[in-house]
Amino acid sequence: MHLRPDHTVRDLPTLHSFIRAHPLGVLTTSLPSENFPTLQCSHIPWVLDVETETGTETCETPEAFNGNDSTTASSLGILRGHIARANPQTAAMIEAVTDARPANTSTGESNPNPNLVGSADQTQAQHQNREYVLPGEVLIIFASPVDHYISPHFYTAAKSAAAAASAGKAKIAPTWNYAAVQVYGRMRVYYDSKDESTGMFLQRQLSDLAVLGEEGVMGFSNANAGANGGGGESEGGGQSPWKLSDAPENYITLLKKNIVGIQVEITRVEGRFKVSQEKGVGDRGGVVDGLEKIGGGRARRMAEFVRKGRVV
């Protein structure tokens, strides 16, 4: 990411807030393979865990994860998600973390490696104790849905100054305002459907993601819903949040067999919020006026970003 000083955001709580406000991130992997494209990407909603003075805070649910690995967040945070087992990017990731190539993605188990020696018990122990971590870093891009073209016509102060100085044409050009955060990190893959830690990870992940959507995005709350529970509409028009336990257990079991858990320990995070900060007060005011005259939700929201000088 090109981090121009005027637009660079390095404050970690602000970057975390942006991720939580826009949790759908584009996962990009670069995994050399004879069987799959090297570069692949997928849109995935993420749950963010961050360290606090009192421990690990998940923005959706606070309960601890008691799997084989620790999900205590790194100083920069941890992202949790899941991806369809049928996704070719998933197949490339499983191939990258297993000894066998290609991996048997239909069952979630690696094919036997003829180069491994030892008893079947030793091979199984090696399999169960292994950390399935991708080589190198992965990249996840989070973007605000609010972006907008900025016309040179908006820069009224610059045009007026050029005219007053008889300088001829103003030195202005079109641009585009936007906001994005890029996250780099090391990814662990929970692909083995027979591994207890995979089941526990996916159970928590699906539960937390439901809370993120139902409460964080939709604003559903048990406090505002009627006594009907189960996700139905209350007498007051409120909606109780849907929970993972509202689905049949056998359906969730089947669902977990068709997805793969992914966890990213963040090693680097950077943001660029480009909302005309580099312009003078007069031209920023011109951008706000120009966007508001256009109308429409996206233009008005960008005008508000420019007015405040921030996006979260």
Specify the pLDDT at position 222.
85
Mean pLDDT of the chain: 84
Please provide the size of the chain in residues.
Answer: 312
Confirm whether 126 is domain-assigned.
yes
Confirm whether 2 is domain-assigned.
no
Token reading at 89? 């990017």
Whether residues 163 and 187 fall in one domain: no
For residue 47, the surrounding DSSP H or E stretch is strand 47-52
CA–CA gap between residue 78 and residue 187 (Å, rounded): 10
Whether residues 237 and 299 fall in one domain: no
- Say if residues 187 and 158 touch (Cβ distance below 8 Å): no
pLDDT digits (tens, 9 = 90+) for 113-166: 433 334 444 444 444 445 799 999 999 999 999 999 999 999 999 989 888 887
Instruction: Report the DSSP beta bridge partners of residue 175.
Output: 150
Whether residues 160 and 265 fall in one domain: no
Confirm whether 1 is domain-assigned.
no
Instruction: For residue 22, give its domain range.
Output: 8-144+180-274
- Model confidence band, residue 73 (pLDDT cutoffs 50, 70, 90): low
Confirm whether 195 is domain-assigned.
yes
- Model confidence band, residue 57 (pLDDT cutoffs 50, 70, 90): low
Q: In the predicted model, what is the mean pLDDT of residues 89-111?
A: 70
- For tokens 């950390």, name the residue: 131
CA–CA gap between residue 189 and residue 35 (Å, rounded): 19
CATH number for position 230: 2.30.110.10
- Say if residues 157 and 280 touch (Cβ distance below 8 Å): yes
Alpha helices in the chain (DSSP H): 12-21, 88-97, 120-129, 156-164, 196-211, 249-257, 281-294, 297-308
| Statement: residue 71 has pLDDT above 60 | no
Looking only at Cα atoms, what is the longest distance across the chain?
87
Q: Nearest 5°: phi and psi at 163?
A: -65, -40
Say whether 235 sits in a helix, a strand or coil: coil
pTM: 0.82
Whether residues 268 and 128 fall in one domain: yes
